[in-house]
Structure 1
């Protein structure tokens, strides 16, 4: 399947004040698959990454070097990464600590990500540490990765709401954001882990954070159907990096109300309609997500995948 007129692509109607190009940070192979109860074969994961690259995605988060006890689905990181390392795309990997960094560097990974929390409750649930203890743990990871010539992304969860604490004060989020940037993170991904953000909240956080937009990405969940609206608000602010998951796969194992990531196809549909370049072939991407849905044994939750797959039948 390719991006052809018969596919039913949106008419591009550009709007003033929006970026000309957006880089999609594809998280389907890591964040999307990490919660799957049935083990996905390593070969299937590798083929998924290859198909995503073939669809034009240039940043594909490949796996996570966390202890297998915490994320059993990604226990095959050492086996998977060499199978995709030769692709002509950026392949960031998650590392929780120095041991995870050692494992990643040993395989030649040059782009790593650490994952912090804006709230104490989630830091305890996800990392078994306080917010400040987690930041202290990440400092040597970031320093060593940078010393090795690597690129470091800082994920920040619970930027807009927390299942235990409720709404998260913006100054609290800004404090942790600045700590991650100050320790040397090249990029910061602002996560709406339980999907409660709304566009005004997004604009308020970005305004108070007042960080260079080239260092920021946004990571929205679609729990309340707000992910695209929130993305649009971030675009209006000048953000040009958006996280998304092919087929809308994924959620968060420590936040049960998180129903799934923004689907990459739904994002691409909106961006194409706004005349914003992504370099992604929507037809190939839809075919890839439909293929993966077949391996997972259930339909893709992406509305665009369902709509365009139906058109092709």
Structure 2
């Protein structure tokens, strides 16, 4: 299998942590329910390819996201490896209680920078959602469980249009003040561009949120995900979310297409000489295997280019 020529650029981090969201965010939109055994094998394969943070599922109401109704069954049957983080998403206190009862050791909550999406996704205002998250974060931290916060619609909203960086920074600061340990900035509908990314990171720095506490979560709707990743790396970001095979989106925002493909990200980072710890051929094989189960080709460009590429002699 081909590999990119390594040509480093100055000013970039030496290593990037990939936060793999495929099993949760990547599969949540699938209409046909994926068998729990396939989900468990997907997680195992991703870990085997070198990913060290794999978001497994969400303890959400089964009627809202039927694909993830098997959260307890999946978690109970999952073979977990030492040194690997297996976070899950929880929507509220009830979801947290389920996760803690299952023995989960790391969680995430999902907020919105805009009122329109907060109402559609959470059924409440931004203010009300922060109030809802407060006991979730507090209880998790009391149990020694780290809490990641996702903040969606950080760059644009399909109902409200442009989202000012100052508004995002305000909600982000209030969310992190609850006690969250990491904040992932979501380009939910994929409209961000490189300058916008850096402007938002600068606005967050002004309210005391440095890059060491931040991650980026880009969608590739307009083909900008890797350019935006480079802009984030140039500002010092070292955690990037991605989904194996480029699957996923958001079930509550119709204009949100697939996540940045992990394989595309790995090719890009390895070409820059940035260490990820990921075995790209193993990852491509995993997404090819998953695509066969889903009955369609992977949307990842790297997967399509490499899956049937003969090894150089």
TM-score (norm. length: structure 1): 0.97
Distance 2:36 2:11 in 1: 43
Distance 1:84 1:134 in 2: 31
2:49 alignment partner in structure 1: 55
1:36 alignment partner in structure 2: 30
1:110 alignment partner in structure 2: 105
CA contact (8 A) 1:85 1:91 kept: no
1:227 alignment partner in structure 2: 225
1:310 alignment partner in structure 2: 308
After TM superposition, list the pairs within 5 Å mapping 1:106-145 onto structure 2: 106-145=101-140
Question: Any stretches of 5+ residues in structure 2 without a counterpart?
Answer: none
Confirm or deny that 1:170 pairs with 2:168. Answer: no
The alpha-carbon deviation at position 85 of structure 1 amounts to: 5.3
Partner of residue 12 from structure 1, selected from 6, 9, 15? 6
Question: Any stretches of 5+ residues in structure 1 without a counterpart?
Answer: 1-6
Partner of residue 74 from structure 1, selected from 68, 79, 84? 68
2:92 alignment partner in structure 1: 97
Tell me the SS of whatever aligns to 1:262: coil
State the superposition RMSD in angstroms.
0.9
2:244 alignment partner in structure 1: 246
Tell me the SS of whatever aligns to 1:188: strand
Q: Deviation per CA, 1:173-226: give whole Å up to 9, x if none.
A: 111100111111100000000000000000000001102211100000000000
2:257 alignment partner in structure 1: 259
2:212 alignment partner in structure 1: 214
Q: Deviation per CA, 1:263-311: give whole Å up to 9, x if none.
A: 0000000000000000000000000000000000000000000000131
Task: Count matched residues.
Answer: 307
Distance 2:160 2:133 in 1: 24
CA contact (8 A) 1:92 1:112 kept: yes
1:182 alignment partner in structure 2: 177
Change (3 A) 1:85 1:95: farther
Distance 2:77 2:280 in 1: 25
TM-score (norm. length: structure 2): 0.97
